[in-house]
Chain A
Amino acid sequence: EAGVTQSPTHLIKTRGQQATLRCSPISGHTSVYWYQQALGLGLQFLLWYDEGEERNRGNFPPRFSGRQFPNYSSELNVNALELEDSALYLCASIMTGWSYNSPLHFGNGTRLTVT
């Protein structure tokens, strides 16, 4: 079974540009979570998509947005990049209507560097 895949592995952008990060969930998983992991910090919840809809978002500005496609893959867009957006962005998937004992499955992340 293929795991959660994220692309690209690394992304270098300059301040003010836009970044697009992609995620393919595990087959059969319809729910995707995005997290930001800045250097030395824990995981900060960004967005939750389920069956094509945005269901919840964390405490991030609107320039962080995304979508989920009919095949349940997902895209995270970050507009007007700022230096502090430099971080590892992690995608995780789980089945819709997951039960109390279901874990999140993570990809290896996209390392975004803003210069």
Chain B
Amino acid sequence: GNSVTQMEGPVTLSEEAFLTINCTYTATGYPSLFWYVQYPGEGLQLLLKATKADDKGSNKGFEATYRKETTSFHLEKGSVQVSDSAVYFCALSDPAGNQFYFGTGTSLTVIP
């Protein structure tokens, strides 16, 4: 079946630190992979996506590479800002089953 496993939080970093949030997946087919971000009091916003192996998604300084051999899609950012404080969700899509599968979310707090 399909599932997403995300590293547990919360994660606290100092401003300008390097960020990695781990995400691994299990899929029966060839899913697309997504990272969403949820700011306090809001819904989820698409941060980036990758649709096939070795694709790199990037947006706002965040990057993630679709690694089929390790079934991973880790989120990285070289220098975090206070404004990056949010909850991050890894997700995969299964068009055949018309379903999306979400990780449990990782809370990130960046302190000045």
Q: Taking beta carbons and an 8 Å cutoff, which residues of A are in contact with B?
A: 4, 6, 31, 33, 41-43, 45, 48, 50, 55-56, 90, 92, 98-109
Q: Is the interface of B mostly helix, strand, loop or mixed?
A: strand
B89 CB contact (under 8 Å) in A42, A98, A108: A42
Given the complex, which residues of A lie within 8 Å of B51, measured CB to CB? 100-101
Task: Report how far A103 CA is from B104 CA in the complex, Å.
Answer: 18
A109 proximity list for chain B (CB < 8 A): 42-43
A64 to chain B, nearest CB (A): 17
B82 within 8 A of A: no
B99 cross-chain contacts in A, Cβ below 8 A: 45, 48, 56
Bound CA span A70–B105, Å: 34
Measured as residues with beta carbon below 8 angstroms from the partner, the interface class of chain B is 20 to 34
Cβ contact within 8 Å between A108 and B93: no
The 7 closest A-B pairs by CB, nearest first: A106-B43, A42-B104, A101-B51, A106-B44, A108-B43, A43-B102, A103-B46
B residues at A contact (CB < 8 Å): 30-32, 34, 36, 41-46, 49, 51, 89, 91, 93, 95, 98-100, 102-105
Partner of A108, one of B32, B42, B91: B42
In the assembly, what is the distance between CA of A58 and CA of B36, in Å? 21
Q: Shortest CB–CB separation between residue A39 and chain B, in angstroms?
A: 12
Check A103/B43 contact, CB under 8 A, given A43-B102, A50-B98, A56-B99: no
14 extra interface residue pairs, beta carbon distance < 8 Å, beyond A41-B104, A103-B34, A109-B42: A4-B43, A42-B105, A43-B105, A45-B99, A56-B98, A56-B99, A90-B43, A92-B43, A92-B44, A100-B32, A103-B93, A104-B44, A108-B41, A108-B43
